[in-house]
């Protein structure tokens, strides 16, 4: 039954090449939210779009761009993997609110307001003081709502996240993070945030990044499904998805770019733990094309109904994006 469903991974940043596109196709994943940029500014972001245009041209038998949910159905019916883009920071808009619409028209469907640090829009989860959404941030959220760009608060601090949920006239997402009750990492989210997110129609994508999981790289499939089940008990199944945060085959320099960008000369350990300075060991049950199917089967084994497993593996992402990406007239 897994192969018949629309399966959506709400966040990946793997090494993009033909071998990996083949692996994605074999996995049965219908669409992937691809991180286009981390710290790149507007001009650099356009170059990333150009690079992906080349990927689409050279691998048109395997992947296709997604601009709306009709494209997801097309990907499913043609056996291709749909790719839709997001930014893990607000850097692509520089300090210019008009670039939100420009980037949306280029295909940037999702944008985080922060990536760990204080930004022009909000406070990141690694800052000591969370001043909330800025004046620019409030207007940026309104503009994102207008043009149909999803607000993502995965790397944002508590107050900023709660304020974004309240300010946004449309549901927002936390595309890749876990509850703090499962593992108390700075990027993981409190029960208050998760309840507020769900109450406004938002979506939480569970991350498989080991540093944010119970028991780290030793997290079992049962551990992961238990975390989902406890969250479902908290807010229901309708607001849950997967945002794997998978970064397969990436070199150390990519990890350093994520954390340091151009702002730091020293290696940023984020949560102050030097043992987190390299890539964590892969989860044994989520490191190849069977990963998402393993979660699907694991949820069924744990006691979720087939409909609920379908929702978590893609149905909820589909509904959330279908509503959220439609521009306002």
3-state secondary structure of 174: strand
Per DSSP, the residues of 106-153 read HTEEEEES-SSS--SS--BTT-S----S-HHHHHHHHHHHHHT-EEE-
pLDDT digits (tens, 9 = 90+) for 291-308: 999 999 999 999 999 999
Q: Please tell me the distance from the alpha carbon of residue 24 to that of residue 20, in angstroms, as a whole number.
A: 6
pLDDT number for residue 267: 75
The crossing angle, in degrees rounded to 10, of helices 221-235 and 191-199 is 60
* CATH numbers and ranges of domains, the chain: 2-324 (3.20.20.140)
Are 299 and 308 in contact, with CB atoms under 8 Å apart?
A: yes
Q: Please tell me the distance from the alpha carbon of residue 272 to that of residue 125, in angstroms, as a whole number.
A: 13
pLDDT number for residue 251: 87
Residue 47, token pair as written in the block: 């170059």
Residue 267, token pair as written in the block: 């290696």
Rg of the chain, C-alpha, whole Å: 18
Nearest to 176 by CA among 184, 188, 166: 188
pLDDT number for residue 138: 98
Strand 173-174 relative to strand 108-112, pairing: unpaired
pLDDT number for residue 287: 84
Distances (CA, A) of 87 to 103, 120, 154: 10, 15, 11
First vs last Cα of the chain: how many Å apart? 38
What is the helix (H) or strand (E) element at residue 323, kind and residue range? helix 316-324
pLDDT number for residue 118: 97
Give pLDDT < 70 ranges for the chain: 269-277
- Model pTM score: 0.96
List 150's β-bridge partners, or say none: 110
pLDDT number for residue 255: 87
pLDDT number for residue 11: 98
User: Which H, E and C letters describe 175-221, residue by residue?
Assistant: CCCCECCCCCCCCCECHHHHHHHHHCCCEEEECCCHHHCCCHHHCCH
* Sign of the torsion formed by the C-alpha atoms of 194, 197, 201 and 202: negative
pLDDT number for residue 266: 80
Residue 163, token pair as written in the block: 């304020």
pLDDT digits (tens, 9 = 90+) for 235-294: 999 999 999 999 999 988 888 888 888 888 887 766 556 556 688 999 999 988 999 999
């Amino acid at each position: 039954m897994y192969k018949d469903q629309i399966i959506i991974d709400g966040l990946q940043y793997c090494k993009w090449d033909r071998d990996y596109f083949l692996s994605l196709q074999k996995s049965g994943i219908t669409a992937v939210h691809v991180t286009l940029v981390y710290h790149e500014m507007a001009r650099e972001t356009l170059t990333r779009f150009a690079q992906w245009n080349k990927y689409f041209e050279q691998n048109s038998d395997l992947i296709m761009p997604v601009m709306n949910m009709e494209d997801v159905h097309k990907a499913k019916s043609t056996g291709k993997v749909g790719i839709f883009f997001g930014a893990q920071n607000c850097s692509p808009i520089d300090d210019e609110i008009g670039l939100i619409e420009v980037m949306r028209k280029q295909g940037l469907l999702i944008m985080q307001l922060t990536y760990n640090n204080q930004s022009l829009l909000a406070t990141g989860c690694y800052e000591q003081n969370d001043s909330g959404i800025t004046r620019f941030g409030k207007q940026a959220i309104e503009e994102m709502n207008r043009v149909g760009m999803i607000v993502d608060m995965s790397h944002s601090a508590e107050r900023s996240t709660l304020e974004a949920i309240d300010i946004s006239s449309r549901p927002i997402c936390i595309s890749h993070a876990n509850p703090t009750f499962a593992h108390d990492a700075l990027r993981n989210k409190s029960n208050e945030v998760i309840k507020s997110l769900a109450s406004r129609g938002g979506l939480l994508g569970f991350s498989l990044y080991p540093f944010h999981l119970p028991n780290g790289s030793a997290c079992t499939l049962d551990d992961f499904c238990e975390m989902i089940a406890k969250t479902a008990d908290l807010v229901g199944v309708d607001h849950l998805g997967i945002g794997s945060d998978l970064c397969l085959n990436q070199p150390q320099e990519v990890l350093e770019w994520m954390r340091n960008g151009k702002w730091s000369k020293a290696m940023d350990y984020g949560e102050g733990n030097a043992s987190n300075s390299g890539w964590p060991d892969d989860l044994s049950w989520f490191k190849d094309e069977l990963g998402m199917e393993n979660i699907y089967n694991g949820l069924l084994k744990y006691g979720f109904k087939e409909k609920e497993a379908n929702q978590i593996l893609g149905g909820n992402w589909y509904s959330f994006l279908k509503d959220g990406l439609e521009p306002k007239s």
